[in-house]
């Protein structure tokens, strides 16, 4: 699974899971509010019935001329009896922080209802009923909802993963076919391209054909070679690992590239001017050649006719400057992405600068772009980290 597929997979799972959990949370909140309202209604009824039972028992004892005997097991909830001064007469309440001025007091672990008798009965002025089960029930309800959402999120994420893999399967198969096609094409192109370049070189030495004709063949061969290198990178991801790193003079590699692209530049009447100083860097030569070749190829491709491409190498920096179409400021980061091209009017795959950017990130090379529309672009590579 490549980077883009992984990104698409995670995006789908996150969006699918988040949207499902959002819907579940809304349902859970509605359910929770409904259950709390129901619990409060039942609790209020139980409190009122308990107070009524106590009051009836008090009145019955007074009417019969008997002394009221408090028996907690006779009542469904905890009960407290207090005189007019708030002094306890009898009680089995768990919490004694009673607010006698509030009819119903709701706190974290208990709910109490206070009833003040209009006329004291056997010295009882206040009857308090207490319920400790409702807060516990609500707490258990919260825990159950949280646990359900947590387990559901794992289940939903798993289902999302299975669905995304199912949806991506035909795309994966199609990409695999395209990948095989590109690899086979790149492999088949390699042999004739190499043979063509060698044949042109031999013909030049022996003078078997007109110079102009040989020049055209040479330029075309080099352009085909550039296309092959691009396809090879896409097909085989052939940026080398650090175990191939060697120390070499960057100036020599830059000179090789300028020699290779000289004919292509001349065909466009573009002059390559090089101001180079020796810099020794620790890097894979194939990677550095891809860096230079892609930047130089783009500089020639996007230059106006009869202009100059300047290459400077000094102070651990390689600078390639063209006098071409330029890149707008908002597109300077976009242009480094794969398949992004400076313009549709000029050919290309839009892969060259992606290769440059990936190599720079691999070797900690700082890449900077300075460009102005209609005046040209300057690409600077800072090799300070690998000298």
- pLDDT tens-place values along the chain, 387 residues long: 666 667 777 888 888 888 888 998 899 999 999 988 888 888 889 999 999 998 999 999 888 888 888 888 888 889 999 998 889 999 999 888 888 888 888 888 889 999 999 889 988 999 999 998 888 888 888 899 999 988 988 888 888 888 877 877 777 777 677 667 666 666 566 666 666 667 767 766 766 656 666 666 666 666 676 666 666 665 555 444 445 789 999 999 999 889 888 888 888 899 999 999 999 999 988 889 889 988 998 899 889 999 999 999 999 999 999 999 898 888 887 888 766 665 655 555 567 788 888 889 989 999 999 998 989 999 999 999 998
Q: How many residues belong to the chain? A: 387
Tokens encoding 337: 């992405």
Note the pTM of the prediction, 2 decimals.
0.50
The answer to whether 354 touches 337, Cβ cutoff 8 Å, is yes
- Concatenated DSSP letters for 172-205? HHHHHHHHHHHHHHHHHHHHHHHHHHHHHHHHHH
Sheet holding 88-91, edge to edge: 88-91, 78-82, 124-131, 111-121, 104-106
Measure the CA–CA gap between 305 and 267, rounded to whole angstroms.
9
For residue 350, the tally of other CB atoms under 10 A from its CB is 15
Give yes or no for a contact between 293 and 353, defined as CB atoms under 8 angstroms apart. Answer: no
pLDDT of residue 96: 86
DSSP letter for 324, please: B
What letter would DSSP give residue 350? S
State the pLDDT at residue 220.
67
Contact 225, 266 (CB under 8 A): no
- pLDDT value at position 204? 66
Domains of the chain: residue spans and CATH: 3-137 (no CATH), 241-386 (3.30.565.10)
pLDDT at 183 (0 to 100): 65
Q: In sequence order, what are the residues at sequence separation of 6 or more whose Cβ sits closer than 8 angstroms to the Cβ of residue 82? A: 88, 89, 91, 98, 100, 124, 125, 126, 128
Report how far residue 281's alpha carbon sits from residue 58's, in angstroms, rounded to the nearest whole number. Answer: 101
């Amino acid at each position: 699974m490549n980077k883009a597929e992984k990104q698409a997979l995670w995006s789908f799972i996150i969006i699918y899971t988040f949207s499902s959990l959002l819907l579940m949370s809304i349902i859970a909140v509605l359910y929770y509010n409904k259950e709390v309202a129901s619990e409060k209604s039942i609790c209020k009824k139980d409190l009122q019935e308990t107070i009524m039972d106590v009051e009836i028992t008090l009145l019955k004892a007074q009417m019969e001329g008997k002394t009221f005997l408090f028996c907690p097991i006779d009542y469904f909830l905890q009960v407290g009896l207090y005189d007019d001064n708030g002094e306890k007469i009898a009680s089995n309440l768990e919490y004694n922080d009673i607010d006698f001025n509030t009819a119903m007091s709701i706190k974290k672990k208990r709910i109490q209802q206070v009833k003040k008798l209009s006329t004291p009965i056997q010295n009882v002025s206040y009857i308090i009923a207490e319920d400790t089960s409702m807060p516990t029930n609500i707490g258990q309800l919260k825990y159950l909802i949280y646990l359900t959402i947590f387990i559901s999120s794992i289940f939903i994420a798993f289902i999302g993963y299975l669905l995304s893999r199912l949806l991506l399967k035909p795309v994966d198969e199609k990409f695999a076919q395209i990948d095989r096609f590109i690899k086979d094409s790149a492999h088949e192109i390699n042999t004739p391209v190499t043979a063509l370049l060698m044949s042109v070189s031999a013909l030049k030495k022996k003078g078997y054909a007109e110079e102009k004709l040989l020049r055209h063949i040479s330029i075309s061969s080099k352009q085909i070679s550039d296309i092959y290198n691009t396809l090879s990178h896409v097909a085989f991801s052939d940026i080398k690992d650090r175990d191939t790193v060697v120390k070499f003079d960057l100036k020599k590699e830059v000179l090789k590239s300028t020699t290779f692209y000289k004919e292509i530049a001349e065909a466009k009447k573009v002059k390559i001017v090089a101001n180079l100083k020796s810099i020794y860097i620790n890097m894979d030569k194939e990677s550095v050649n891809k860096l230079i070749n892609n930047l130089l190829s783009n500089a020639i491709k996007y230059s106006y006719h009869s202009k100059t491409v300047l290459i400077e190498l000094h102070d651990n920096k390689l600078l390639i400057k063209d006098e071409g179409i330029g890149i707008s400021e908002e597109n300077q980061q976009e242009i480094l992405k794969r398949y992004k091209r400076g313009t549709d009017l000029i050919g290309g795959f839009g892969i060259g600068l992606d290769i440059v950017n990936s190599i720079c990130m691999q070797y900690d090379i700082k890449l900077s772009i300075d460009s102005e529309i209609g005046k040209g672009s300057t690409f600077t590579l800072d090799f300070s980290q690998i000298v």
